[in-house]
Amino acid sequence: MKNKAYSLITAFLLSIAVLCACSADSGDTAGTANAAADAVGPNLSQIKEICELATLECYYHNVAKSVKESGSGLLHIGEKDRDFWIEYSGCAKFGIDVSKVTMVLNGNQLTITLPPARLLGMSDYTFSEDSFISSDDGFNKNPITADDQTRAVAEANQQLEEMFSRDEAMLIRAQDRAKLLIESYIKKISELTQTEYVIQWELEDNTPADSPSQP
């Protein structure tokens, strides 16, 4: 028997949640700044921690639609094709690969290399009760098994992962979020150390991302 599956996105980007610890004015950011100030100046390990906190979460609702075709041969005479779909929800996470973040300090000039954001992963999904399985009223039954449903969802989710990985708007937003939090951290360091730092942003391939900025 053949089982063809495809996905239908019914609601994309239902909501975007930034982890509460990522607030630019949060106690964690202030604590990070104070710890780095004790070390006299910006700290790369603290910047990497900030990038970990800058994760964006995208909640989605999807429908995995599939057709389980009737089999061939004498044993499958009287079987009917079966349509079914399964609604489910999940969460996609976008962020920065912190292992690729670098920092070079030259006087008060900070050159920070920030890699492009990427899809970090997708959380376990939850199933909705609003699903559908067509009736099996053929002469010979063609049951839809748990494996059929699992396979349909897996294929639909794979399509979602590929789509999320190419979502430039979300990827840019995640990268910008990391830059915003880092700038807030550098600003607090500047205030605590009485040193005015100038940030030069660079992409991973060393192409300037923006003109130098002053927190």
Q: What is the pLDDT of residues 115-132, one digit of tens each?
A: 999 999 988 677 776 666
Alpha carbon distance 30, 6 (integer Å): 47
Radius of gyration of the chain (CA): 25
Torsion on CA atoms 9, 10, 12, 18, rounded to nearest 10: -120
Residue 23 CB contacts under 8 Å (≥ 6 apart), including other chains? 29
Lowest average pLDDT, out of 18-22, 73-77, 95-99, 208-212, goes to 18-22
Helix axes 44-53, 27-38, angle to 10 degrees: 170
Is the pLDDT confidence value at 6 over 70?
Answer: no
Q: Per residue in 25-47, pLDDT tens?
A: 444 544 554 544 445 689 999 99
* Statement: the pTM of the whole predicted model exceeds 0.85: no
Most confident of 51-65, 104-118, 140-154: 104-118
| Residue 66 covered by a domain | yes
Higher pLDDT pick, 6 / 79? 79
pLDDT at 11: 36
Cα distance between the two ends of the chain: 63
Mean pLDDT (whole number) for 196-214: 68
Is the pLDDT confidence value at 97 over 70?
Answer: yes
Mean pLDDT (whole number) for 183-189: 94
Mean pLDDT (whole number) for 193-211: 74
Percentage, residues of the chain above pLDDT 70: 62
Is the pLDDT confidence value at 80 over 80?
Answer: no
Q: What's the total number of domains in the chain?
A: 1
Contact predicate 117/57, CB 8 Å? no
Residue 132 CB contacts under 8 Å (≥ 6 apart), including other chains? 83, 84, 85
| Residue 202 covered by a domain | no
Mean pLDDT over the full length of the chain: 75
Reduced to 3 states (helix: H, G, I; strand: E, B; else coil), residue 152 is: helix
Structure tokens given for 22: 């990522």
Q: Name residue 103's beta-bridge partners.
A: 112
| Residue 105 covered by a domain | no
Alpha carbon distance 95, 85 (integer Å): 31
| Residue 200 covered by a domain | no
Is the pLDDT confidence value at 76 over 60?
Answer: no
| Residue 38 covered by a domain | yes
* Nearest in space to 54 (alpha carbons), one of 19, 92, 16, 80: 19
Percentage, residues of the chain above pLDDT 90: 40
pLDDT at 4: 46
Contact predicate 67/85, CB 8 Å? no
| Residue 201 covered by a domain | no
| Residue 103 covered by a domain | no
Task: Show the domain range for 55.
Answer: 3-96+119-194
| Residue 212 covered by a domain | no
